[in-house]
Structure 1
Amino acid sequence: MRKRAEKFAPLLKPARYKVFYGGRGGAKSWIIARVLIRLAAQNKLRILCARQFQTSIADSVHRLLCDQIEAMGLSNQFDITDKSIVSLTGSEFLFKGLEKSIREIKSTEGIDICWVEEAQAVTKDNWEILIPTIRKEGSEIWVSFNPDEEDASTYQRFVVHPPPDAFVVKVGWEDNPWFPSTLEKERQHMLAVDPEAYEHVWGGSPRKISEAIIFNKRVTFETFETPEGVRFHYGADWGFAADPTALVRSFIQDECLFIDQEAFGYGVEIDETPALFRSVPNCELWPIKADGARPETISYMRRHGFNISAAEKWPGSVEDGVAHLKGFKRIVVHERCKHIAQEFRLYSYKVDKQSGDILPIIVDKHNHGIDALRYSLDGYIQRRGAMGVWAKLAG
């Protein structure tokens, strides 16, 4: 319940835009509906519930609101008809489809809150008409959606380039305290059989060109037992600003790389780093290879009992490291390592937006755990230099 309150707390704070996006099972619509009902029962509000496509009231959130009113025990405070919902305070819910009613919406006055549900389908033109239409002083625009394409107008407008005075929150199944066991079985199945689709459907990430994913179909995600007597590899990447500090543990067996432990922390101060690292078993007993860009942090960690040193870097070391990782028969990520698992599903080559061509350029995103993994294999990764690296990476 605490997670839910934290993620959806912005709904009760003043802001022009309140944006909630993510994958399946996050209860976004359910919770937004409940908050709107509670507000409508307490104050006189005019609430526009919009979506891109609505040919009839059955296509709207009307049924969702009615169900939640009943579930909350507030039926005696609302007058509900087949097409309208009005509260005893005088609050009114309106239901419109942007595709066919955008001009009609343009003339609608006095909207306090506009909730755009399934907003991934809203076009650039419709946003440019809708937003200035919601012009009452103090009015708010609430947006909920599951991302589709990365270049889609809604994703670019609110996630990639969020406007001023906006709360933008990613919500997932893990934030839903009422997540049902039926959906949990579906989630686990998709994770096992189609991890790329999983990252879109359940992880809430936009679709990507599958061929651009660097480790596409080379990584599996499963539960396994760590055998006794293996040689562990520990690697660390240091966080900065919004980037996490990461420690990753792996071992090699039967020409496969197994990742069985991770620690990720955001906004970790230097004096908090030892405790973060110690959440990974036996990290003080084994050598740790780390990003050499922060020698002062490495020195600090050595003073606190860690056998840690900088991994070697050279021009092309990232590409050489990726090529080495792709040389394993399989990379197996334990299900408890959720952060690096997500990185493997997103780590990609750059794609030319005009031609769709996949370029020999690794995008510097979704790579903190993967960088730590590369550092951990310092001494194993061979220098190949720039020549021939692309052929190896594409193989």
Structure 2
Amino acid sequence: MSQQQISIAKLIGKGYNRFWHSRNFYRVVKGSRGSKKSKTTALNYIYRLMRYPWANLLVVRRYSTTNKQSTYTDLKWAAAKLNVRHLFKFNESLPEITYLPTGQKILFRGLDDPLKITSITVDVGMLCWAWFEEAYQIEREEDFRTVVESIRGSHDDPEFFKQITVTFNPWNEHHWLKRVFFDAETQEKDTFAITTTFRCNEWLDANDRARYEDLYRTNPRRARIVCDGEWGIAEGLVFDNFQIQDFDAIEKIKEIQEIAHGMDYGFTNDPTTLVSSVVDLENKEIWIYDEYYELGMTTNDIYKMITGKELLKAYITGDSAEPRLIKELVAKGVRRLHGSVKGQNSVRHGINFLQGFKIYIHPSCVHTIQEFGTYSFKQNAEGKYLNEPEDKNNHIIDALRYSMERYHLGKKKKRKGTYEALKSMGL
């Protein structure tokens, strides 16, 4: 590293010096968006892997398919940033990264296949480090503990250490991560835990920085989480009847056979969203299993997205405030897309209806989880909560309301979309 005259201090910038050097068993960072926590972690692991020949790294996300577009890409970027990319072999298909001079490995797994984690072995050294990225998506503490138990072994090198690194954006103060790593009374022993924000990211461009700053004016509750990296506060939430739960969507669809799809539309400032759920009317349960959330989508983009999800023939309720867009999509082939029914107090009625269900959110639906954890009632000048929700943090929730209209407005219930839902899952 010194021969290439790279200054690590200049490379990582400010805010992460203690994190970089920490050898605590648990090294935990919760942070705002744009706080460079993932990029810094990637740089740190490439640097450390070259320094310690006995080390191998396991990178874990809730779903294995998300590693390739996130952690794998970040580690590949880090090797290039350190001018050592030629020393590593990058296997895109697995994915897997090998340090060529020694054969040390960086392995990638998802908690959706725990057996592939507990049975991992390495040829060189030992599996002594693990990085849990976007750990907020891990809904069960016991799943996390199972992986931690696979980080074991010892070495006669006096510098040997085992370590679990955890990085995430916080959303709800009731998540087990807060109790385990940030509450003083219950914090795990040998833990280094910090909170970072976008302010320590010198390389964040001016437009992104201005957008974060403006959030304090337009949406203070969301700014607390997105900008300050603090926990979402449950007080004043519109919904307290939801929980994050892993479930087999295919089995739910086969069992209940009542499917609902809803869409909300946006462009520059608001996203276009689509949410899909299984509706158990008898037991008053909604099982949200799929979502889509993206800014700047054209009509053609939306059509391609719906096509990709195999929902061209599905019964979809979209925001009636965009009749031209709905008409264009119908003309392209989204034949059963129709506008929502809006009238006096329709938002309130729709929310009341949803509050009568137990809502289960699949952990892959990250934007849905974020909205349910921040959608709150308005407050008056004295800070008292009013019986009127803020029109913020609700683009998925609005789409969900639209999808439920046919159940509480007396519309026909025979259009289930079961075939399309199963087809979109490859069945």
Q: TM-score if structure 2 supplies the norm length?
A: 0.47
Q: Shift of the alpha carbon at 1:369?
A: 0.7
Instruction: For 2:133 and 2:30, locate their aligned partners in 1 and report how far apart those are by CA, in whole Å.
Output: 20
Residues 1:266 and 1:188: Cα distance change in structure 2 (over 3 Å): closer
Choose the corresponding residue for 2:172, options 184, 196, 203.
196
Q: Shift of the alpha carbon at 1:36?
A: 4.9
Q: In structure 1, what residue type is equivalent to 2:371?
A: E
Aligned to 1:323: 352
Aligned to 1:169: 34
The answer to whether the Cα contact below 8 Å between 1:231 and 1:252 also exists between their aligned partners in 2 is yes
Corresponding position: 1:231 with 2:255: no
| Aligned partner of residue 370 in structure 2, secondary structure | helix
| Aligned partner of residue 335 in structure 1, secondary structure | coil
Let me know the Cα RMSD of the aligned residues: 3.8
After TM superposition, the structure 1 = structure 2 runs for residues 87-98 of structure 1, keeping only pairs within 5 Å, are: none
Q: Shift of the alpha carbon at 1:298?
A: 0.4
Instruction: For 1:34 and 1:344, locate their aligned partners in 2 and report how far apart those are by CA, in whole Å.
Output: 43
Q: In structure 2, what residue type is equivalent to 1:37?
A: K
Instruction: For 2:374 and 2:132, locate their aligned partners in 1 and report how far apart those are by CA, in whole Å.
Output: 23
The answer to whether the Cα contact below 8 Å between 2:378 and 2:385 also exists between their aligned partners in 1 is yes
Choose the corresponding residue for 1:37, options 4, 7, 10.
10
What runs of 5+ residues in structure 1 fail to find an aligned partner?
A: 1-32, 41-48, 50-59, 69-143, 148-167, 384-395
Choose the corresponding residue for 2:325, options 297, 311, 333.
297
After TM superposition, the structure 1 = structure 2 runs for residues 285-364 of structure 1, keeping only pairs within 5 Å, are: 285-306=313-334, 307-328=336-357, 330-352=358-380, 355-364=382-391
Q: Shift of the alpha carbon at 1:296?
A: 0.9
Residues 1:355 and 1:378: Cα distance change in structure 2 (over 3 Å): same
Corresponding position: 1:373 with 2:396: no
> 1:169-194 CA deviation, whole Å, 9 max, x = no partner?
36676865469746459645567799
The answer to whether the Cα contact below 8 Å between 1:263 and 1:279 also exists between their aligned partners in 2 is no
| Aligned partner of residue 364 in structure 1, secondary structure | coil
Residues 1:250 and 1:345: Cα distance change in structure 2 (over 3 Å): same
> 1:287-306 CA deviation, whole Å, 9 max, x = no partner?
11110111111011101111
Corresponding position: 1:240 with 2:213: no
Aligned to 1:260: 289
Q: TM-score if structure 1 supplies the norm length?
A: 0.50
Aligned to 2:245: 222
The answer to whether the Cα contact below 8 Å between 2:266 and 2:296 also exists between their aligned partners in 1 is yes
Alignment size in residue pairs: 233
Q: Which 4+ runs in 1 deviate beyond 6 A?
A: 191-195, 198-203
Instruction: For 1:197 and 1:313, locate their aligned partners in 2 and report how far apart those are by CA, in whole Å.
Output: 34
Residues 1:320 and 1:63: Cα distance change in structure 2 (over 3 Å): closer
Q: Shift of the alpha carbon at 1:233?
A: 0.8
Q: In structure 2, what residue type is equivalent to 1:301?
A: L
Instruction: For 2:232 and 2:373, locate their aligned partners in 1 and report how far apart those are by CA, in whole Å.
Output: 10
Residues 1:377 and 1:183: Cα distance change in structure 2 (over 3 Å): same
Instruction: For 2:288 and 2:319, locate their aligned partners in 1 and report how far apart those are by CA, in whole Å.
Output: 19
Instruction: For 1:61 and 1:290, locate their aligned partners in 2 and report how far apart those are by CA, in whole Å.
Output: 45
* Identity fraction in percent: 25
Q: In structure 2, what residue type is equivalent to 1:269?
A: T
Instruction: For 2:267 and 2:140, locate their aligned partners in 1 and report how far apart those are by CA, in whole Å.
Output: 30
| Aligned partner of residue 407 in structure 2, secondary structure | coil
Residues 1:323 and 1:266: Cα distance change in structure 2 (over 3 Å): same
Larger Rg: 1
The answer to whether the Cα contact below 8 Å between 1:256 and 1:331 also exists between their aligned partners in 2 is yes
What runs of 5+ residues in structure 2 fail to find an aligned partner?
A: 1-5, 23-28, 39-60, 62-69, 76-107, 109-128, 143-169, 179-194, 196-224, 411-427
Residues 1:225 and 1:374: Cα distance change in structure 2 (over 3 Å): same
The answer to whether the Cα contact below 8 Å between 1:246 and 1:265 also exists between their aligned partners in 2 is yes
